[in-house]
Amino acid sequence: MANTRRPASQRSTSQRSTRKRRADGEESRRRILDAAAEIAGERGYDGTSIGEVSARSGLPASSIYWHFANKDELIAAVIERSFERWLAAVELPGPEVGDAGERVRTMAVGLAKALLDTPDFLRLGLMLALERRPAEPTARTKFLQVRQITRERIAEAIRELTPELPESSVRALTTYAMAGADGLFIAHELDGDDTDLVALFELHARSLSDATARELDTHRSNP
Protein backbone atom coordinates (compact mmCIF):
# COMPACT_ATOMS: atom_id res chain seq x y z
CA MET A 1 0.00 0.00 0.00
CA ALA A 2 1.40 3.40 -1.00
CA ASN A 3 2.35 5.82 1.76
CA THR A 4 0.20 8.95 1.25
CA ARG A 5 1.51 10.76 4.31
CA ARG A 6 3.03 14.10 3.33
CA PRO A 7 6.64 14.86 4.20
CA ALA A 8 7.19 16.88 7.37
CA SER A 9 8.39 19.89 5.37
CA GLN A 10 5.12 19.99 3.41
CA ARG A 11 3.04 19.66 6.58
CA SER A 12 4.98 22.49 8.21
CA THR A 13 4.45 24.72 5.19
CA SER A 14 0.73 23.92 5.19
CA GLN A 15 0.43 24.69 8.89
CA ARG A 16 2.21 28.02 8.47
CA SER A 17 -0.11 28.86 5.60
CA THR A 18 -3.17 28.00 7.70
CA ARG A 19 -1.94 30.14 10.61
CA LYS A 20 -1.26 33.05 8.26
CA ARG A 21 -4.75 32.82 6.74
CA ARG A 22 -6.25 32.73 10.21
CA ALA A 23 -4.19 35.73 11.33
CA ASP A 24 -5.09 37.64 8.17
CA GLY A 25 -8.76 36.83 8.74
CA GLU A 26 -8.63 38.05 12.35
CA GLU A 27 -6.90 41.26 11.30
CA SER A 28 -9.47 41.86 8.56
CA ARG A 29 -12.30 41.31 11.04
CA ARG A 30 -10.73 43.76 13.49
CA ARG A 31 -10.37 46.42 10.80
CA ILE A 32 -13.98 45.93 9.72
CA LEU A 33 -15.28 46.20 13.29
CA ASP A 34 -13.14 49.28 13.99
CA ALA A 35 -14.42 51.01 10.86
CA ALA A 36 -18.05 50.08 11.58
CA ALA A 37 -17.75 51.35 15.16
CA GLU A 38 -16.35 54.69 13.99
CA ILE A 39 -19.02 55.22 11.33
CA ALA A 40 -21.93 54.07 13.51
CA GLY A 41 -20.69 56.33 16.31
CA GLU A 42 -20.72 59.27 13.90
CA ARG A 43 -23.89 58.53 11.91
CA GLY A 44 -25.91 55.97 13.84
CA TYR A 45 -27.30 52.67 12.66
CA ASP A 46 -29.17 53.96 9.62
CA GLY A 47 -26.24 56.11 8.51
CA THR A 48 -23.88 53.13 8.40
CA SER A 49 -23.50 51.17 5.18
CA ILE A 50 -21.35 48.31 3.97
CA GLY A 51 -19.93 50.61 1.28
CA GLU A 52 -18.78 53.15 3.86
CA VAL A 53 -17.31 50.45 6.06
CA SER A 54 -15.46 49.10 3.03
CA ALA A 55 -14.03 52.54 2.23
CA ARG A 56 -13.05 53.26 5.85
CA SER A 57 -11.46 49.84 6.45
CA GLY A 58 -9.75 49.64 3.06
CA LEU A 59 -11.22 46.18 2.50
CA PRO A 60 -13.57 45.12 -0.30
CA ALA A 61 -17.25 44.57 0.42
CA SER A 62 -16.77 40.88 -0.38
CA SER A 63 -14.40 40.62 2.59
CA ILE A 64 -17.00 42.20 4.87
CA TYR A 65 -19.70 39.82 3.64
CA TRP A 66 -17.35 36.90 4.21
CA HIS A 67 -17.29 37.78 7.92
CA PHE A 68 -20.83 39.15 8.34
CA ALA A 69 -24.07 38.31 6.57
CA ASN A 70 -25.31 41.92 6.55
CA LYS A 71 -24.99 45.32 8.20
CA ASP A 72 -27.22 44.32 11.10
CA GLU A 73 -25.02 41.37 12.00
CA LEU A 74 -21.96 43.62 11.72
CA ILE A 75 -23.36 46.22 14.14
CA ALA A 76 -24.36 43.43 16.53
CA ALA A 77 -20.74 42.23 16.48
CA VAL A 78 -19.51 45.78 17.22
CA ILE A 79 -21.80 45.93 20.26
CA GLU A 80 -20.73 42.49 21.47
CA ARG A 81 -17.00 43.19 21.12
CA SER A 82 -17.22 46.49 22.98
CA PHE A 83 -19.36 44.93 25.71
CA GLU A 84 -16.94 42.05 26.27
CA ARG A 85 -14.11 44.54 26.82
CA TRP A 86 -16.24 46.59 29.21
CA LEU A 87 -17.75 43.70 31.16
CA ALA A 88 -14.51 43.02 33.00
CA ALA A 89 -15.11 46.27 34.91
CA VAL A 90 -18.55 45.17 36.13
CA GLU A 91 -17.09 43.42 39.15
CA LEU A 92 -17.53 44.34 42.80
CA PRO A 93 -14.08 44.68 44.44
CA GLY A 94 -13.34 42.54 47.47
CA PRO A 95 -13.50 43.61 51.14
CA GLU A 96 -9.81 44.49 51.10
CA VAL A 97 -10.74 47.70 49.23
CA GLY A 98 -12.70 49.04 52.21
CA ASP A 99 -16.27 49.26 53.47
CA ALA A 100 -19.35 48.80 51.32
CA GLY A 101 -19.39 52.44 50.20
CA GLU A 102 -15.77 52.35 49.11
CA ARG A 103 -16.30 49.11 47.22
CA VAL A 104 -19.24 50.63 45.33
CA ARG A 105 -17.27 53.81 44.60
CA THR A 106 -14.29 51.82 43.29
CA MET A 107 -16.58 49.76 41.07
CA ALA A 108 -18.25 52.92 39.74
CA VAL A 109 -14.91 54.54 38.88
CA GLY A 110 -13.86 51.39 37.04
CA LEU A 111 -17.12 51.39 35.09
CA ALA A 112 -16.72 55.03 34.09
CA LYS A 113 -13.15 54.53 32.90
CA ALA A 114 -14.16 51.41 30.95
CA LEU A 115 -16.98 53.32 29.27
CA LEU A 116 -14.55 56.03 28.21
CA ASP A 117 -12.32 53.35 26.66
CA THR A 118 -15.06 51.20 25.08
CA PRO A 119 -18.25 53.24 24.61
CA ASP A 120 -19.49 51.62 21.40
CA PHE A 121 -21.90 49.08 22.88
CA LEU A 122 -23.72 51.65 25.02
CA ARG A 123 -23.63 54.44 22.44
CA LEU A 124 -25.03 52.26 19.64
CA GLY A 125 -27.21 50.18 21.93
CA LEU A 126 -29.07 53.14 23.40
CA MET A 127 -29.73 54.49 19.91
CA LEU A 128 -31.24 51.17 18.86
CA ALA A 129 -33.09 50.53 22.12
CA LEU A 130 -35.04 53.78 21.82
CA GLU A 131 -36.12 53.07 18.25
CA ARG A 132 -39.19 51.12 17.19
CA ARG A 133 -38.94 49.24 13.91
CA PRO A 134 -41.31 46.84 12.13
CA ALA A 135 -38.53 44.23 12.14
CA GLU A 136 -36.39 43.84 15.25
CA PRO A 137 -32.72 44.37 14.31
CA THR A 138 -30.29 41.71 15.48
CA ALA A 139 -28.09 44.48 16.86
CA ARG A 140 -30.90 45.75 19.13
CA THR A 141 -31.56 42.23 20.37
CA LYS A 142 -27.86 41.80 21.11
CA PHE A 143 -27.77 45.03 23.09
CA LEU A 144 -30.78 44.02 25.18
CA GLN A 145 -29.10 40.68 25.89
CA VAL A 146 -25.84 42.24 27.04
CA ARG A 147 -27.75 44.84 29.05
CA GLN A 148 -29.46 42.02 30.92
CA ILE A 149 -26.04 40.58 31.80
CA THR A 150 -25.07 43.98 33.21
CA ARG A 151 -28.31 44.13 35.21
CA GLU A 152 -27.60 40.71 36.72
CA ARG A 153 -24.02 41.69 37.66
CA ILE A 154 -25.19 44.87 39.42
CA ALA A 155 -27.99 43.03 41.22
CA GLU A 156 -25.48 40.43 42.43
CA ALA A 157 -23.28 43.21 43.85
CA ILE A 158 -26.22 44.75 45.72
CA ARG A 159 -27.20 41.36 47.14
CA GLU A 160 -23.64 40.70 48.28
CA LEU A 161 -23.37 44.03 50.08
CA THR A 162 -26.88 44.00 51.57
CA PRO A 163 -28.14 40.40 51.82
CA GLU A 164 -31.04 41.48 54.05
CA LEU A 165 -32.71 43.50 51.29
CA PRO A 166 -35.87 42.02 49.76
CA GLU A 167 -35.72 41.21 46.08
CA SER A 168 -38.12 44.04 45.23
CA SER A 169 -35.62 46.55 46.66
CA VAL A 170 -32.75 44.89 44.80
CA ARG A 171 -34.65 45.24 41.52
CA ALA A 172 -35.50 48.90 42.20
CA LEU A 173 -31.94 49.80 43.15
CA THR A 174 -30.56 47.96 40.12
CA THR A 175 -32.88 49.92 37.82
CA TYR A 176 -31.86 53.15 39.55
CA ALA A 177 -28.16 52.32 39.17
CA MET A 178 -28.46 51.55 35.47
CA ALA A 179 -30.73 54.49 34.66
CA GLY A 180 -28.33 56.87 36.37
CA ALA A 181 -25.36 55.43 34.50
CA ASP A 182 -27.23 55.74 31.19
CA GLY A 183 -28.06 59.37 31.89
CA LEU A 184 -24.51 60.29 32.88
CA PHE A 185 -23.14 58.62 29.78
CA ILE A 186 -25.57 60.56 27.58
CA ALA A 187 -24.57 63.80 29.34
CA HIS A 188 -20.94 63.06 28.54
CA GLU A 189 -21.79 62.27 24.92
CA LEU A 190 -23.60 65.61 24.61
CA ASP A 191 -21.18 67.80 26.56
CA GLY A 192 -17.88 66.05 25.85
CA ASP A 193 -14.92 66.99 28.00
CA ASP A 194 -17.02 69.53 29.91
CA THR A 195 -18.51 66.52 31.74
CA ASP A 196 -16.19 64.56 34.04
CA LEU A 197 -17.69 61.11 33.70
CA VAL A 198 -15.49 59.55 36.39
CA ALA A 199 -16.42 62.22 38.96
CA LEU A 200 -20.10 61.90 38.09
CA PHE A 201 -19.98 58.11 38.49
CA GLU A 202 -18.40 58.60 41.92
CA LEU A 203 -21.29 60.92 42.83
CA HIS A 204 -23.75 58.36 41.48
CA ALA A 205 -22.10 55.65 43.61
CA ARG A 206 -22.57 57.75 46.77
CA SER A 207 -26.21 58.38 45.88
CA LEU A 208 -26.73 54.67 45.30
CA SER A 209 -25.10 53.82 48.64
CA ASP A 210 -27.37 56.32 50.41
CA ALA A 211 -30.46 54.95 48.66
CA THR A 212 -29.47 51.40 49.59
CA ALA A 213 -29.01 52.39 53.24
CA ARG A 214 -32.46 53.98 53.30
CA GLU A 215 -34.02 50.89 51.73
CA LEU A 216 -32.32 48.73 54.34
CA ASP A 217 -33.52 50.95 57.20
CA THR A 218 -37.07 50.82 55.85
CA HIS A 219 -36.93 47.04 55.60
CA ARG A 220 -35.63 46.67 59.14
CA SER A 221 -38.33 49.00 60.45
CA ASN A 222 -41.06 47.10 58.60
CA PRO A 223 -39.97 43.44 58.56
Digit-coded pLDDT (tens) for 205-217: 999 999 999 999 9
User: Within the chain, which residue ranges are assigned CATH 1.10.357.10?
Assistant: 80-221
Of 203, 43, 54, 52, whose CA–CA distance to 123 is shortest?
43
Query: Using alpha carbons only, what angle is made at residue 101 by residues 95 and 103, rounded to the nearest 5 degrees?
Result: 40
Please give the residue that has the higher pLDDT: either 128 or 66. Answer: 66
- pLDDT higher than threshold 80 for residue 2: no
Q: Domain 9-68: which CATH class? A: mainly alpha
Is the Cβ–Cβ distance between 115 and 126 less than 8 Å?
Answer: no
Q: Outline where the chain has alpha helix (H).
A: 8-43, 50-57, 61-67, 71-87, 100-117, 120-129, 138-161, 167-191, 197-221
**Mean pLDDT computed over 137-153:** 90
**Mean pLDDT computed over 74-90:** 86
Amino acid at 20: K
Count the neighbouring beta carbons within 10 Å of the beta carbon of residue 123: 20
Contacts of 117 (CB under 8 A, 6+ apart): 85, 86
Distances (CA, A) of 67 to 48, 71, 73, 79, 104: 17, 11, 9, 15, 40
* CATH 1.10.357.10 fits domain 80-221: yes
- Write out pLDDT tens, residues 84-115: 888 877 888 899 999 999 999 999 999 999 99
> Rounded to an integer, what distance in angstroms lies between the CA atom of residue 9 and that of residue 51?
42
What's the maximum distance between 2 C-alpha atoms anywhere in the chain? 87
Considering the entire predicted model, what is its pTM? 0.79
Is the Cβ–Cβ distance between 124 and 139 less than 8 Å?
Answer: yes
- Write out pLDDT tens, residues 156-196: 999 999 999 999 999 999 999 999 999 999 999 999 888 89
Query: What pLDDT was estimated at residue 20?
Result: 52
Please give the residue that has the higher pLDDT: either 13 or 96. Answer: 96
| Confidence band of 204 (pLDDT split at 50, 70, 90) | very high
Is the Cβ–Cβ distance between 11 and 28 less than 8 Å?
Answer: no
End-to-end CA distance of the chain: 83
Query: Using alpha carbons only, what angle is made at residue 174 by residues 169 and 175, rounded to the nearest 5 degrees?
Result: 100
Query: What pLDDT was estimated at residue 24?
Result: 60
DSSP code of residue 96: G
Is the Cβ–Cβ distance between 114 and 88 less than 8 Å?
Answer: yes
